[in-house]
A = this chain, B = another copy of it.
Amino acid sequence: MSAAHGRTRGEYAKSSARRQAILEAAVEVFASAGFHRGSLRDVADRAGLSQAGVLHHFPSKPHLVAAVLTWRDDESRQRFVDDVPGGLETVRALVALIEYNQRKTPELVELYATLSAEATSSDHPVHEYFVRRYAWVVGYVQRAFESIAGSGELRADVDPAAAARWVVALMDGLQIQWLYDRDSVDMAAHVRTYIRSLLTVDL
């Protein structure tokens, strides 16, 4: 991009850093207050910007929350390899992701738990995002279990489609239990032990 557009490379870097600061502030605000109670003013205050400064990057609250969710998805996706790997590698990566979220991004776990429950109302601004996301995640885990079954590593009495729903449900439900009692609940260990119980091999 040339300086003829009125912005130097340094200005772009500054704008990008500011965008990132807003996203991080938004995670903290919406994780504790939820979508409805959290305000753009709170996000601006926390990011050290004016409300107009936030609106310059994200034209509305739904835009900002959607950007936070997409950002988290992109971050998570980077933790999976690009090619379709074997089913066991996929579920191993899933457990590693839970471990990472639990240790490094507890406020994102809280944001996700709150928004995914709030957004079950069909008029919620990110309802459609979650409808698509659940369909995608359950399908993704199901394909992993089908691949595991194909190599004879899934217990014969386990249905890949049901097991996929159970693993996703277990992850969501353990998230809630963990948020209430972080010392007693090790989400990643529970999911690993549970998935092991479905396999004929170690994980």
Query: What is the count of identical protomers in the complex?
Result: 2
Query: Which residue of the partner chain, among B121, B138, B165, B177, contacts A169 with CB atoms under 8 Å?
Result: B177
Give how many A residues have a beta carbon under 8 Å from the other chain's beta carbons: 41
CB distance from A19 to the nearest CB of B (A): 26
A33 at the B interface (CB under 8 A): yes
- Is there an interface contact between B181 and A170, defined as CB atoms closer than 8 Å? no
Q: C-beta contact mask, A31-58 vs B, less than 8 Å → 1, else 0?
A: 0111011000000000000000000000
- Grouping DSSP codes into helix (H, G, I), strand (E, B) and loop, the A interface class, with mixed when no group exceeds half, is helix
- Is there an interface contact between B177 and A173, defined as CB atoms closer than 8 Å? no
Docked CA distance A172–B179 (Å) = 13
Docked CA distance A171–B176 (Å) = 11
Query: Which residue of the partner chain, among B37, B130, B185, B193, contacts A37 with CB atoms under 8 Å?
Result: B37
Can you list 5 residue pairs at the A/B interface with Cβ under 8 Å? Answer: A37-B37, A114-B121, A134-B176, A169-B170, A169-B176
Q: Which residues of A are at the interface with B, using a C-beta cutoff of 8 A? A: 32-34, 36-37, 110, 113-114, 116-118, 120-121, 123, 130-131, 134-135, 138, 157-158, 162, 165-166, 168-174, 176-177, 179-181, 185, 190, 193-194, 197
